[in-house]
Amino acid sequence: MSTLIQSVARGLRWTVRFVATLMRALFGELQWSPPPWIGRMATVARDATRRISRSVESSRTANPKRFWIVTASALLLIGGGTLGLNWYLHRLQPNYVEINGTWPQPTPLKPDATIDPLRIAFSASAARLGAVGKIVSSGITIDPPLAGVWRWDTDSELSFMPSSDWEVGRYYKVEFARELFPRQVMLRSYTYKFRSPAFEASIDQAQFYEDPIDPRSKKVVATVSFTHPVDKADLERRIALRMRIDPVKTFDSRDARSFGFKVLYDKTGGTAYIHSDPFPIPDNPAAMLVSISAGVRSKRGGPGTDTAQTSVVPIPGIATYFQIQGVSANAVANERDEMERVATVSSSVAVRQADLAGSISIVMLPKDRPAIGDQKLAKDFQWSDATEVVPAVAALATPVPLQWLPSAREFNPQRSFKFIADSGRFVLVTVRRGLVGFGDYRLTKDYSVVVAVPDLPKELKIASAGSLLSLAGEKKISIVSRGVAAMQIEVSRLLPGSVSHLVSQTNGTFSQPQFSTWAFNFDDLSQVFTQVRPLIDDPTGKNQYSVFDFAPLLANGALPRGLFSIKVTAWDPARKQLLAGGPTDNRLILLTDLGLLVKDSADGSHDVFVQSIRSGKPLEKVAVDILAPQWAARYVGQGRRQRSRYLS
């Protein structure tokens, strides 16, 4: 043994010398003086090694047989323990069934609410045959005892419904008897622990509130929800409200002050509304901290809340409370279907129309930005910033008259007015400081903004929805235009004998038929008349009315009736072509004096009656032709009776 120890020592010394040589070659000489305790430790270790070596050698010399028996026994014990541990860690495990449970949730605080049961799920089928859907009467105990019903919902799900609502935040232990399960089912643990719903609180909402009746009454209102009816006295002694006002930055500062409050509750006691004492708007921005310390309890008992609840509510100062939030402009249609430009002023405080009218001005900025200082003249300038409107520019601006739109309320945060300005131009809207809002709050700074004048949408359409013109009348139709300088009128008169083609090649409505293919249209069936007519482009957005007369198309020997397609399209007079993307409309117009009345009979037949539109009297000896594709004619001949009569 001593020889073995000496060999190991020689190997260690050689290794140390080799490493030392290598380190010197790489990093050079290192000077290090070991502390005295290392030397003493080395001496003690060396002496202990020598004593152990001498003791082992003397034991081997004195009784070799005993020495080798002890040594072999120790080696066998170490080897056997290692093998045994390896076998235990890698032995075959039984197919245990695991338990996973879903703790019950709080019962909603509302009438006819259902208690949430405890649900226990097993990782495999665990119910005995025929037990699913049945009540379990034995084999399960709960500590502490709790009345209720156990039931197998499925072969792997077990539920417990208590006889009354769960206690608040109580821990339970469930013990399952081995006899509850089939013999082949083995649970890793026959115990399951759970907790009934704990009492919790949360601040759902906290906001700065202004009384709509008394604007001087400002306060903070916070809504707090609970999972169970709250102990009102316990809650109220844990509520604290503190306000800080800039420049104070923390609520712990001695310059922050506490606020009184009152608490209102709903009928169930599950919701509390905290109202701070009223306060005036501070000069500077402020904030109020609403805090509820931990430990709030339910009136049903049980442990209190674990964490504190806090919410910070920002409170505007005088300078930030009343502000003009923006000005927008849009083109809208009035009750006469005429387009008007309407601007809307939005403010954070409701204002009276008369007060705003005395504090607002609107001017139309010049089309070109004048040469000012180092800036050159800019044609068709796109104004965007109110700071660009220097006195030299303001001198070129022109006032824009306003017409205020009525409002149902005396005070309103949004006020609208109509104005007249040219498309493509810009207006400067200014609201002067000193404007008084609801609650006697005053605007502390002037507000100015540049607003682009909205373009009025172009429109060109045939008035009314009818498609029949009587030969007894003026034979005219009206055309409505807006924002269009000229229009092209294209009239197609259907040639005699072409009605069948029109019927077979189109679909849609009578007034606006749609051809089935682009390669075939009215031009293939009609005689076409085209004219370009100038229109009035009123910048105010008023509708302009034009008239087209069919009478000239019925003169010069033409038939005193006819079927016409009329199409109106916006025209560009400068380029002498159709206006790209411009408005258009079309209509099929029938000029006649004959009116038809068709009666559908119960037997599927139809009676056609004809009368004069001019006189309103019946007409006789009028031929009625039925136009239909060949397949439809066959269907009529085979299955239905079709006849025509003369109205006498």
What tens digit of pLDDT does each residue of 583-602 get?
999 888 888 878 877 888 88
Average pLDDT, the chain: 85
| Coil/strand/helix, residue 388 | helix
Sheet of 459-462: strand order equals 459-462, 476-482, 544-549
Separation between Cα atoms, residue 414 and residue 201, nearest integer Å: 39
Please name the helix (run of DSSP H) or strand (run of DSSP E) that holds residue 503, with its range, or none: helix 499-504
CATH of 459-592, one of 3.40.640.10, 2.60.40.2550, 1.20.140.10, 2.40.30.10: 2.60.40.2550
Nearest to 483 by CA among 341, 327, 335, 329: 341
Q: Residue 171: what pLDDT? A: 96
Separation between Cα atoms, residue 140 and residue 142, nearest integer Å: 7
Question: What top-level class would CATH report for the domain 201-320?
Answer: mainly beta
Separation between Cα atoms, residue 299 and residue 229, nearest integer Å: 6
pTM reported for the whole predicted model? 0.59
Q: Residue 634: what pLDDT? A: 42
Q: What type of residue is 372?
A: I
| pLDDT bracket for residue 559 (50, 70, 90) | low
Q: What is the pLDDT of residues 38-88, one digit of tens each?
A: 777 878 777 777 777 777 777 777 777 777 777 788 778 888 888 887 777
Residue 442 DSSP class: B
Residue pair 263/224 in contact by the 8 Å Cβ criterion: no
Q: What type of residue is 443?
A: L
Flag whether pLDDT at 141 surpasses 70: yes
Q: What is the pLDDT of residues 102-116, one digit of tens each?
A: 999 999 998 889 999
Residue 375 DSSP class: B
| Coil/strand/helix, residue 413 | strand
Residue pair 450/428 in contact by the 8 Å Cβ criterion: yes
| Coil/strand/helix, residue 635 | helix
Separation between Cα atoms, residue 344 and residue 328, nearest integer Å: 5
**CB-based contacts of 330: which residues, under 8 Å, 6+ apart?**
341, 342, 344, 454
Max Cα–Cα distance, the chain, nearest Å: 154
Q: Residue 633: what pLDDT? A: 44
Flag whether pLDDT at 16 surpasses 70: no
Q: What is the CA radius of gyration of the chain?
A: 49
Q: Which residue has the higher pLDDT, 204 or 601?
A: 204
Residue 370 DSSP class: P
CATH 2.60.40 fits 99-195, yes or no: yes
CATH of 323-452, one of 1.10.510, 2.60.40, 3.30.300, 2.30.170: 2.60.40
Flag whether pLDDT at 475 surpasses 90: no
Q: Which residue has the higher pLDDT, 67 or 229?
A: 229
Q: Residue 645: what pLDDT? A: 39
Q: Are strands 468-470 and 584-592 parallel, antiparallel or unpaired?
A: parallel
**Which whole-number Å values give the CA distances from 316 to 78, 207, 352, 443, 480, in the listed order?**
79, 12, 21, 13, 52
Lookup result for tokens 């131009």? 425
Nearest to 127 by CA among 154, 108, 106, 101: 154
**What does the pLDDT average to over 155-164?**
95
| pLDDT bracket for residue 538 (50, 70, 90) | confident
Q: Residue 646: what pLDDT? A: 37
